[in-house]
Structure 1
Amino acid sequence: MRKDEEKNQSSNSSNEESFNVQRFLRKRWVLPAVYLGSAALVISAVFWLQSPDEGAMPGEDFEVEEQPIGEGTEFDEEAVPVTATQEIVQMPVTDENEVEVIGQFYDYDATAEEQQAALVYYNNTYYQNKGIDLAMESGESFDVTAALSGTVVSAEKDELLGYVVQLDHDNGIVTHYQSLEEVDVEEGVYVNQGDVLGQAGRNVYNSDAGVHVHFEIRQDGVPVNPQSFFGESFETLVESKEEVAADEDIVSAEEDGLPEEGPVIDEGLFDEEPVEEAPADDEDSEEDEQEDADEEEAGEQEDLDGEEEDQDE
């Protein structure tokens, strides 16, 4: 009997506890509180895992030595700027509207008339123009600027060409500026696009052009037509596959002291035809024939006179 009462009491108490738990969970704030508590535990665990190990940190006596930068280290070389591929090739003048092209690039594919207009006459010889010549209509001097950013590899005076400046733009691209009256840059200096290199002047080689600047673009040493690349990007210039055939009869500048503009020997460039003269032997033969005819006629006349005299007798 007593055992039955104890069982009944224990079952009643368990029922009351389960009822209390269910009643507790039915409250609105219980579940949010559980979620927030779980989130707090997760965040705490993440921070704990990411916290540095203090045992691995250097102590107070740890000294940090700086790597010296000077001679003999791999970091002492100066950074060399390169031509930006986004640059657009410009005319080598401050204002392109103030100048005009007075000398064209010699193009092997041009017409005979255009090729004849692209010749430079010097020392009784015609030379092919490897660039273009720019001048003002008034004949005044003007500032010559860098068509592209680059490094000055040469800035010196030439007896025939005047002052000459060459800029290296990497990727095998070099620009030449000739017939300068004076220069404002020196070898080894990096110049930006549009910087003034010097002023246009005269030279002995192309004296007929007057005050002008001779401008060339060379790709791996081969001259290309600058007018084909004005307004184009530097990347286009590098990637261009334009090739200019080299004339085997062009005289090297190193051999005769002249610019690399060899004499043109294409006879089709000129319209004048040589005047043919009669050979001297033909003239002599005609004179001999005339003399023989005169002598024969004189002989016949003498025979006629002799016959007349015989008849009179």
Structure 2
Amino acid sequence: MREEENKRSSQSKVKSIMKKRWFLPAVYIFSAAVLLTGILVYQASDNEFTQDPSENKQNITSENNEPSIEVNNSLETFTIPMSEAESAVIKKEFYDVDGDTKQQEASLVVYNNTYQPNTGIDYAMKDGKGFDVTASMSGKVKSVQEDALLGNLVVVEHDKGIETHYSSIKDIKVKEGDNLKQGETFAKGGTSAINEEAGTHVHFEVRKDNVAVNPLEYLDKPISSLKAEKKEADTKAKDSADQEKEETTENQDDAGNETSEDSNENQESDPNQEPGNE
């Protein structure tokens, strides 16, 4: 009996609470709060799941961007910097200090009644028409200069101390810091005040430690050939310097020995001579 009375009492209390005006609004508010909390928790967990892979992917991509250029360089060979290389002609060759007189005369650039050795190769089209200038090898744009004398200049760095220079160009499409792929068009052939007789052309240089080398010697060769020559030249220079240093030391020793011998001979020639008397 008591249990039934307790049940009836509790049921009547519940009914009385449900009849209150605030009951239904409170239920609605509580339900909405639970639902909103669930949505926020789900979105937060979903964002964490989707963001991490993309961030990792972005980091991997950015970390791999720079090394890819170096890898490409090791596989590439220097090419003629023109989109239609098969139709290219050389307007003026590189001045070779070891070349014959005729070749050297043909490689001089005349400007303001002065003769200057050509530090690169001047390429043009057979028909003299315009053409696209392309990257001889993949690399990063080191500088872009507007220069009326040279006809503008773009310097591309391929490795430490190894660069290609492109001048007598126009309609330049790159800026400092841009990456260039081999064969990518970045300008058009132009003219320059220093070599007007060449007409529309591109002046192409290959430089090693800012010293111009003959581009023709490295066409169709990898950048490693230029590195190897640089290492060999450095070794020869070091050996030459060491040899010169040794010869200088030997000469100094010989001079010292001769002086000592002369002094001894003078003393032996007059053993009774007092110091300071002649």
Residue 150 of structure 1: how far off its partner (Å):
0.2
Instruction: Letter of the 2:145 partner, please give it.
Output: E
Question: Residue 273 of structure 1 corresponds to which residue in structure 2?
Answer: none
Taking structure 1 as the reference length, the TM-score comes to 0.52
- CA distance in 1 between counterparts of 2:65 and 2:88 reads 36
Alignment of 1:128-147 (within 5 A): 128-147=117-136
SS at match of 1:183: coil
Q: Does 1:227 align with 2:243?
A: no
Q: Does 1:160 align with 2:164?
A: no
| Identical-residue share of aligned pairs (%) | 40
- CA distance in 2 between counterparts of 1:221 and 1:181 reads 23
Alignment of 1:1-313 (within 5 A): 79-80=65-66, 81-83=68-70, 84=72, 85-241=74-230
SS at match of 1:198: strand
- CA distance in 2 between counterparts of 1:190 and 1:181 reads 19
Superposition RMSD on alpha carbons, in Å? Answer: 2.7
Instruction: Letter of the 1:104 partner, please give it.
Output: E
- CA distance in 2 between counterparts of 1:143 and 1:163 reads 15
| Structure of greater Rg | 1
- CA distance in 2 between counterparts of 1:237 and 1:95 reads 25
Unaligned regions of 5+ residues in structure 2, if any?
A: 1-51, 56-61, 234-278
- CA distance in 2 between counterparts of 1:156 and 1:196 reads 17
Shifted more, 88-97 versus 193-202: the winner is 88-97
Residue 78 of structure 1: how far off its partner (Å):
8.1
- CA distance in 1 between counterparts of 2:147 and 2:134 reads 19
- CA distance in 1 between counterparts of 2:222 and 2:195 reads 31
Residue 82 of structure 1: how far off its partner (Å):
3.1
Q: Contact between 2:95 and 2:118, CA under 8 Å: does it hold in 1? A: yes
Q: Contact between 2:84 and 2:131, CA under 8 Å: does it hold in 1? A: no
Q: Contact between 1:163 and 1:182, CA under 8 Å: does it hold in 2? A: no
- CA distance in 1 between counterparts of 2:129 and 2:205 reads 21
Unaligned regions of 5+ residues in structure 1, if any?
A: 1-65, 70-75, 244-313
Deviation string for 1:74-114 (max 9, x for gaps)?
xx878424333111111101121111011100000000111
- CA distance in 2 between counterparts of 1:96 and 1:159 reads 26
Taking structure 2 as the reference length, the TM-score comes to 0.58
Q: Contact between 1:148 and 1:193, CA under 8 Å: does it hold in 2? A: yes
Q: How many residues align?
A: 177
Higher helix share: 2
Instruction: Letter of the 1:82 partner, please give it.
Output: I
- CA distance in 1 between counterparts of 2:139 and 2:80 reads 15
SS at match of 1:158: coil
